[in-house]
Each structure stands twice: as C-alpha cells, then as structure tokens.
Amino acid sequence: MRSRAFIPSGVVTGIHFVVLCALLIEPCLAQSRRAQTPQPQTGEDKSQTQIVPRPQQRKPQNDPVKEKPQTIDPDEVVRISTDLTNVLFTAVNKDRQFVTSLKKGDLQILENGVVQDITMFERETDLPLSLGILVDVSASEERSLPDEKAAAREFVHNVIRPAKDRVAVLSFTGEATVEQELTNRVLALEKAIDNIEIVLPLEDTSIISASGRPIHLPSDSRAGSTAIWDAILSTSNEMLGSTPEHTRRAIILLTDGEDTSSRVRMQDAVDTAIKQNVVIYSIGIGDRRNFGIDSKSLKKISEKTGGRAFFPDNELELKAAFSQIQDELRSQYLIAYSSTNRARDGSFRRIQIDVLNPDFKKEKLRLLYRDGYYARAGRR
C-alpha cells in the first residue's frame, strides 16, 4: 500500500501566487528587453546612437560609383607651368609718357627671330615687389650721398605696400654690405638708409716689432674702392634670387658707374640678373667734376635687363628719377609664351617685341624689356 504525500493547503496557495506574479512580470521584462535592443530609426530618436555621424557615406559626391576618376597628370602640370617664358615690358611714347592701353593684337614677340604664339597678355599693376636699393659709398659719392639718402627715404615711404612689397638696403665699395634685409617695415628701411656712410680707402700703416724693425700692414686694396658688378651679382643671386618667383624683382643702383675693383665682368653681372629675372634701374650720380660718370656702362646694364638709366643733375631731378621708377614698376605688361624651341640646352635666347598697330607706331613707342633669357638646361 503506497502512502500519499501530505501537502498543506497554505503551500498550494503560495505556489499559485508565485505563478501569478511571474505571469504578470513577464510582459514588463519583455518590454524592457525590447527597449534595450537597437530598433530601426523611425522619426526623431534621441538615443545615443544618433550622435555618431557618418557624413562620408551619405554624401552622393563621395560615392565611389558616381565619382569620375582624375585624369590630370601631375608631370604634365609641371611641364606646362615651367615651359612658359614670361617677359615684363614697359611702353613709353615719344613724350616719355607710359602707354597703358596696349592689347594682345597690337604686338608680336619673337625668339631668335621666330614669331611665338602669345599665351597670356595682361597689364601687371599689382605684382608684389622685391627690391634692392644698392648704394655706392666710395669716396666719389661723398658730396651726393645726403641727397641720395633723402630721395631713397622718400621712395621707400611712397612705394611700400606692407601687405605685398619687400625692400632691402645694401651699401657697397669693394664688398657689398647688407644694411637691412628684405622687409616691409618702412621705419626699419629709413633707419638703414640714414645709417649709410662713406667708406674711405685705408692707407698703409706700420708698427714697430719687439726687435725694433718696422712691420708693414698693407691696406685692404678693395676697401673704399668701387666694385659695382660684384655687388649687382651678389644682390641678384643671394638677396633677390630667393624671393618668390611671382614677384617683380628689381635693383635700384645709385653710383657713378666707375667700377675699379670688381672680380667679375659687367657681362657676368648682366647674365646673373637676367637669369634671376632682376631688372636694374641705374641712377648715375656722383662727383662729376672730380670723378666723372660712366653713363655708357650704366645704360648698357640697365637696358639689357629691361630697366632704364637716369642721370640727374640736382636733388629735384634725383627725386623725379625715383618717382619715374616707382611709376614704371606699376605700369608694366606681362607677355607669356611657350617657346617653339623645345631644346633644354641652357642657351641664350634673344627676345624681340614689335609693335604691329599702326596707330601706336605713329606714337613711336619705346618698349623696355630684357634682351633675352637663358633656356633651362637638362632633359625634358
């Protein structure tokens, strides 16, 4: 006979209660689990998953299927930009007034006698300036130096645009001395000009040694001398040659033109200026009575680089020369062309610009530009 287990009635009631609670709690737990499970976004959702942006996946222009592949060859871009020959020029009529109304069809440009297709023609009035004011401080300039300094200060004050232009001040006798590096600070430039002084030649001196014998100390043969071509070459290379390529580089040279001690030839100075795209404006000034002025050399070095030479007789004419240079720097044209001669042989290419427009021919325009340029050397 099997016995039957005895279960109190209170226990049965407790089990029923537990089961009932479970049935009531389960829907709440299920709802909580659904809230924690990521749901598809419908309407505005302020949950944390919304703060993770994915703009790159949503912008159509970044869709790799829709983008077109780039077809620009970087080597081609470099070739196009470096093969252009740029020529700055100024046009002056018979009354020495600047002509600023020329157009592309009014001119033609030739390289070594061959007509070139003009790629770009525009009037350049807003290019940044990189200028070197180069002042002869040898004995022949002693009388005129105060006037030179006054005119140079006025020029700096009028020409500098602090946001664009840079000017350096250098003095020279046998060696060139940097009085002020390239800067846009007018006060610093004026101070540098004020500090320029004449350097006189040193004389031979001697001292007595311990044995009583004199020891001769020869003077520096270049101190107080005039090395114009050396100064132009070093200024073109070391000062202006490092400036940004898209600037107007120029030297304003104040001297009598009588070179007495340069180690390089005038042609070397011209070639260096041309290679560095530096225009030379010469102001022939000095003691005319005792030393004279070499106007021929100053004209040659200026005209070959696309500048001009001025020969003022007094302070008023000196200031007018600086003013003329200032106007000329703001009144130039730019011609660019791709040479038909593709050889990269480092040779000198002569440039010629002719006036075609008969109306401008009647005005007897004088065009000022560099004689030529040196082709790039090396393989294409």
Q: Let me know whether 241 and 121 are in one domain.
A: no
Same domain, 193 and 267: yes
Judge if 119 and 135 occupy the same domain. Answer: no
State phi, psi for 13 to the nearest 5 degrees: -60, -40
Q: Tens digit of pLDDT for each residue in 107-131?
A: 999 999 999 999 999 988 778 999 9
For 153-166, give the DSSP string: HHHHHHH--TTT-E
Supply the range of the domain harboring residue 299. 129-199+221-330
For the chain, the straight-line distance linking the first and the last C-alpha, in angstroms and rounded, comes to 116
Count the domains in the chain. Answer: 2
Residues 308 and 341 in one domain: no
40, part of any domain: no
Select, from the ranges 4-13, 38-47, 288-297, the one with the highest average predicted confidence (pLDDT).
288-297
In a domain, 379, yes or no: no
Is 1 part of any domain?
Answer: no
- Residue 25: predicted pLDDT: 53
Does 137 share its domain with 120?
A: no
Q: Are residues 321 and 241 in the same domain?
A: yes
**Is 289 within the bounds of a domain?**
yes
Average pLDDT value for residue range 127-150: 93
In a domain, 18, yes or no: no
Instruction: Name the percent of the chain lying above pLDDT 70.
Output: 72
Contact 112, 149 (CB under 8 A): no
Residue ending a domain, among 330, 345, 366, is 330
pLDDT of 345 above 50: yes
Please check whether residue 19 lies inside any domain of the structure.
Answer: no
Nearest Cα residue to 135 out of 231, 202, 201, 224: 231
CATH number, domain at 289? 3.40.50.410
| Mean pLDDT on 49-70 | 41
Higher pLDDT, 222 or 337: 337
- Based on the fold, state whether residues 312 and 261 are members of the same structural domain: yes
Which of the two residues, 52 and 351, has the higher pLDDT score?
Answer: 351
Q: How deeply is 48 buried, as exposed, middle or buried, from its count of CB atoms within 10 A (0-12, 13-18, 19+)? A: exposed
Q: Are residues 263 and 250 in the same domain?
A: yes
pLDDT at residue 330, as a whole number? 84
Phi-psi region of 40 (alpha: psi -120 to 50; beta: other; left: phi over 0): beta
pTM, full prediction: 0.72
pLDDT at residue 318 tops 50: yes
Cβ distance 375 to 347 under 8 Å?
yes
How far apart CA 121 and CA 349 sit, in angstroms, is: 20
More confident residue, 291 or 347: 347
C-alpha distances (whole Å) from 12 to each of 4, 24, 61, 302, 349 are 16, 19, 71, 121, 116
Instruction: Verify that 312 and 242 share a domain, yes or no.
Output: yes
| pLDDT over threshold 70, residue 225 | yes
pLDDT of 43 > 50? The answer is: no
Query: Do 184 and 308 belong together in one domain?
Result: yes
One domain, residues 140 and 248: yes
- 97 part of a folded domain: yes
CA angle, residues 149, 152, 155, in degrees to nearest 5: 155
Question: In this structure, are 150 and 258 located in the same domain?
Answer: yes
Residue 42 inside a domain? The answer is no
